[in-house]
Amino acid sequence: MNVFLALTRYSWYDFSDATVGLLFGLAGILFGYALRGLIGKFQAEAIEKAAKNRLADTDMEIKNRLKEADIQARAEVVHAREEFEKSIKQQKEEIQETAARLAAREENLDKKALLLDEREQETARKRDEIAKRDEASRLRKDETETAWKTAAERLAKLGGMTPEEARREIYAKAEAEVESETGMLIRRAQERAKEEADREARKIVVEAIQRYSIAHASETMTTTVALPGDDIKGRIIGREGRNIRSIEAATGVTILMDETPGAVLLSAFDPVRREIARLSLEKLVEDGRIHPARIEEVVAEVTADMDRAIQETGENAAFRAQVQNVPAPIIKKLGSLRFRTSYSQNVLSHSEEVACLMGMMAGELGLDPSIARRAGLFHDIGKVIHQEKQGKHALLGAEFLKQNGESPIVVNAVACHHEDVPADSLYGVLCSAADAISSSRPGARQEATTIYIDRLEKLEKIANSFPGVQKSYALQAGREVRVIVDPGKTEDSQAAVLARDISRKIETTMQYPGQIKVIVVREMRCIEYAK
């Protein structure tokens, strides 16, 4: 500072430019050093302050982490203690359950030991009773033999017979008594078994009939074709009757023109021809061109399409009966049943009804309804083959089904539904029952008067062929036979045996739908007159 003041004493102009520059440079350096020292001081203070702050933050973080570690350690200790207590509690419960089971097992063993002791005592008591009974039976047998010998000797003395003759006489009497008692036992057993079987069978059959109800309409030999108007009848007849003659010649049916409005009648014994004529006439009426050339052309087309129609009919029948995976040959034969009748009953409708009845009854009996419906639908398929081969339709149908890969159960059910072969399963019995139900329902079939009378006469003839029968009457269209026996020749016990023998002979010698009830009547009337 003193140097600076000494320098100021001199005039500015006394110094040279170099000296002034040197002074200003020295002053700048000093000022720079002073400024740098001040800045360094400030920076050092800032760094120190930052270091203190970071140290404080580090201390705080260390304290927080120590606190968290302490809390976590305490939580783990608490959790470990809870888990330990829980495992101890579970072990105690398991020990208690094991102890309870052991106690119950010991109690059961004690009870079983007591029961075994009681059973051994009961067995010993029964063994003693059996021994006593055996001894009593032996004594009674000895007494019986002694009494038998005594009675035989007395009879020999009284009647003048030898012991051998008396023995034969007693044996004959005992045999007669046993036969009488046997007849009564047979009758009681048959009545009881028949009541139970009738009750269960009636329940199943009635259930099936109630669930399947269909209106029966007898097949006739005529078919009605509806017309859009009466003026079309003249066109069908044609000039001088040439159109109607062409239709009758091409189809083989007779066309009946009556006063019925809007309809004509086709008459023929062959249902296939009637169906061809019906389809041809409907097609001609729809087309409007009715002349001999067109008639022959349409009839030829319809005849060629009959195979397709038969196939569709078979497929629809299988669909309605819920029968699947039917081979094409069987479908074709099944469709042909639509044009066959039995006692004026359509065979295809009858087969569908039998299939439904069999399915319902099989369901009631716990059998497979699908197998039952299949056998019922195919049971009369031999009636189509019957025209091609000779033999019974049941056996022909079974052979045809076997050739086309049907199961042995279905084949046997079809073959035995008229008892031509024995039934291997319940499906054959169900097929016979369902066929009889469908055939014997009111209005299902029509029989000729001569066949009806022959059946009644044959029933009465079978009943009259047995000894002791006075008269017999076939009632209720051959569903019941009442047999009146001579009370002097037939006992009550023999009446049951006679009813069974008559029913067996009817089963082996006659063919009939449903069942025939045989009633044997024995009545003793004693008449006296007071004079």
Domain assignment present for 282: yes
Domain assignment present for 529: no
Same domain (yes/no): 350, 377:
yes
Considering the chain, what percentage of its residues have pLDDT values greater than 70?
Answer: 79
Its sign, for the CA torsion 106, 112, 115, 120, is: negative
Domain assignment present for 479: yes
Q: What's 236's domain CATH number?
A: 3.30.1370.10
Q: What is the pLDDT of residue 61?
A: 86
Same domain (yes/no): 463, 378:
no
Least confident of 69-73, 134-138, 510-514: 510-514
Q: Which of 304, 324, 358 is the endpoint of a domain?
A: 304
Q: What's 405's domain CATH number?
A: 1.10.3210.10
Q: pLDDT tens across 64-88, in order?
A: 888 888 888 888 888 888 888 888 8
Q: What is the pLDDT of residue 15?
A: 45
pLDDT, mean of residues 328-349: 81
Q: pLDDT tens across 375-414, in order?
A: 889 888 888 875 556 778 888 888 888 888 889 999 998 9
Query: Among 440, 438, 419, 434, which Cα is nearest to 506's?
Result: 419
CA distance 437 to 202: 12
Same domain (yes/no): 31, 151:
yes
Say which amino acid occupies 157: K
Q: Which residue has the tokens 């010649």?
A: 249
Q: Which of 385, 416, 440 is the endpoint of a domain?
A: 440
Helix (H, G, I), strand (E, B) or coil at 484: strand
Higher pLDDT, 210 or 416: 416
Q: Which two tokens stand for residue 68?
A: 């968290």
Task: Say how many C-beta atoms besides its own lie within 10 A of residue 102's C-beta.
Answer: 10
C-alpha separations of 404 from 319, 333, 410, 500 in Å: 19, 12, 12, 42
Q: What is the pLDDT of residue 218?
A: 41
Domain assignment present for 329: yes
pLDDT, mean of residues 343-358: 83
Mean pLDDT across the chain: 78
Same domain (yes/no): 378, 409:
yes
pLDDT, mean of residues 188-213: 64
**Residue 217 pLDDT class (50, 70, 90 cuts):** very low
**187 pLDDT more than 70:** no
Q: What is the pLDDT of residue 272?
A: 75
Q: What is the pLDDT of residue 219?
A: 45
Domain assignment present for 178: yes
Considering the chain, what percentage of its residues have pLDDT values greater than 90?
Answer: 1
**Residue 150 pLDDT class (50, 70, 90 cuts):** confident
In which domain, by residue range, is 111 found?
A: 17-156
Q: What is the pLDDT of residue 177?
A: 64
Half-sphere exposure of 288 (CA within 13 A, CB side): 0
Q: What is the pLDDT of residue 11?
A: 46
Domain assignment present for 210: no
Same domain (yes/no): 70, 134:
yes
Q: What is the pLDDT of residue 151?
A: 67
Least confident of 76-80, 271-275, 296-300, 462-466: 271-275
Same domain (yes/no): 22, 145:
yes
pLDDT, mean of residues 346-373: 87
Least confident of 92-96, 211-215, 313-317, 455-459: 211-215
**Residue 216 pLDDT class (50, 70, 90 cuts):** very low
For residue 477, what is the DSSP state? T
Same domain (yes/no): 468, 509:
yes
Q: Which two tokens stand for residue 505?
A: 């002979």
Number of domains forming the structure of the chain:
5
Least confident of 22-31, 101-110, 151-160, 473-482: 151-160
Predicted TM-score (pTM) of this structure: 0.44
pLDDT, mean of residues 1-6: 46
Spatial contact of 485 and 469, defined as CB atoms under 8 Å apart = yes
Q: What is the pLDDT of residue 522?
A: 83
Q: Which of 391, 419, 440 is the endpoint of a domain?
A: 440
Same domain (yes/no): 341, 243:
no
Q: pLDDT tens across 165-179, in order?
A: 666 776 776 666 666
Least confident of 16-20, 131-135, 190-194, 207-211: 207-211
**32 pLDDT more than 60:** yes
Q: What is the pLDDT of residue 211?
A: 53
Same domain (yes/no): 56, 83:
yes
Q: pLDDT tens across 49-67, in order?
A: 888 888 888 888 888 888 8
CA distance 302 to 274: 12
Same domain (yes/no): 430, 360:
yes
Spatial contact of 481 and 459, defined as CB atoms under 8 Å apart = yes
Same domain (yes/no): 56, 183:
no
Same domain (yes/no): 355, 422:
yes
Residue 262 backbone class (left: φ over 0; alpha: ψ -120 to 50; beta: rest): left
